[in-house]
Amino acid sequence: MKAIFAIASTTVGEAIRRKVLLIILLIGVLFIVVAPGLGILSARSETTVLKSFMLGVTQGVSAIIAVILTVYMIPNEIERRTIYTILSKPVQRWQFLVGKYLGAVMSLLLMMAMMSAVMALMFFLQQQSKNAAEIAELLKGPMMYFVQMSLLAAVAIFFSTFVAPLVNFFLTVGVFLVGVFFNPLFQSLQDNQNTATLVKKAAWAVNTFLPNFANYNVQNPLINQNSAIQNEGRYYLGITVYGVVYICILLILGILIFDRREV
């Protein structure tokens, strides 16, 4: 346990010093800071547009950070031979992989918390609102995105146990985009009576085996009162449990592959 934690916190120490990640984070923060001043905001739907813009930036930037952070994580350890020093100590490979993953998640938490704090502050300043409930409501978005990004990180770490970083990059981004944009489409294909059986089966397979990233896109219900989620708490709990279970499965599969692999 101590070893896992040491590996995780070292990973955080490295991640928060990676210039690429810091620059992306900075760009994200900048976007959020200037958002209230953007002229594109029409007076009437100002708040709605502002909210969705801020949430969109937070999600997009977090996804980019999550992928860049994790795709090179294991290959870098091998290339720099730091992994050998670690594995020659009484550290099992699963401990190494779990430590690396937890480090990635902790780094994401740190960076996303920072972005969310800036978002909350800017929203507060722009609205001049003392309405804490509205800000808290808005922050539910990043919380669900955090689960989403943790799942995305697990996908990348899983792939990194057997494919090269560049391939991993496209695979992970692909799985994410399919999950975010096409999952609803596949869902409707699956549910539609008129769909051909074969297509239905394929849609079912995609929906079942690929992680459903669309679950976590909670911006619409958060912004539009009309489309609010029924039984919100249960929904959030449900998708969090789904995420954790999926992450565990990915990590176990990753460990099984990594254990047999030559490093």
Partner 1 sequence: MAAAIETKQLTKSYKARQAGTINVVDHLDLHVEEGEIFGFLGPNGAGKTTTIKMLLGIIYPTSGEGFVLGKEIGDMDVHRLISYLPERPYYYEHMTGLELLKFYGSLFGITDKAKFIALLEKVNLHRDMTKTISQYSKGMQQRVGLAQSLLNDPKLLFLDEPTGGLDPIAHREIRDLILSFRDEGRTVFISSHELSEVELICDRVAIINKGVIARQGKLTELLKGGRIEITAEGVPESLLKNLNLPDSNLRVLASGLMLDMPEENDPNGVIDAIRSQKGRVISVVPRRKRLEDLFVETVTVKGGKS
Q: State the residues that interact with partner 1 by CB under 8 A.
A: 2-3, 5-7, 10, 13-14, 17, 80-82, 84-92, 262-263
Q: How far is the CB of 101 from partner 1 (least distance, A)?
A: 17
Nearer to partner 1, 17 or 44 (CB): 17
Nearer to partner 1, 80 or 234 (CB): 80
Residue type, position 31, single letter? F
The token duo for 112 is 């996303």
Q: How far is the CB of 16 from partner 1 (least distance, A)?
A: 9
Q: What is the DSSP string of 157-207?
A: HHHHTTS-HHHHHHHHHHHHHIIIIIHHHHHHHHH-TTS-HHHHHHHHHHH
Nearer to partner 1, 5 or 181 (CB): 5
Encode 194-222 in three state secondary structure: CCCHHHHHHHHHHHHHCCCHHHHCCHHHH
Please answer whether residues 63 and 153 qualify as being in contact, where contact means their C-beta atoms are separated by less than 8 angstroms: no
Q: How far is the CB of 12 from partner 1 (least distance, A)?
A: 11
Nearer to partner 1, 99 or 254 (CB): 99
Nearer to partner 1, 58 or 161 (CB): 161
Q: How far is the CB of 87 from partner 1 (least distance, A)?
A: 6
The token duo for 84 is 């050998």
The token duo for 160 is 């990194």
Instruction: Tell me how far apart the alpha carbons of residues 154 and 250 are, in angstroms, rounded to a whole number.
Output: 6
Q: How far is the CB of 13 from partner 1 (least distance, A)?
A: 6
Instruction: Tell me how far apart the alpha carbons of residues 205 and 224 are, in angstroms, rounded to a whole number.
Output: 32
Q: How far is the CB of 252 from partner 1 (least distance, A)?
A: 20
Q: How many CB atoms lie within 10 A of CB 218?
A: 22
Instruction: Tell me how far apart the alpha carbons of residues 168 and 160 are, in angstroms, rounded to a whole number.
Output: 6
Q: How far is the CB of 111 from partner 1 (least distance, A)?
A: 17
Q: What is the dihedral of CA 254, 257, 258, 259, to 10 degrees?
A: 120
Nearer to partner 1, 81 or 201 (CB): 81
Nearer to partner 1, 68 or 171 (CB): 68
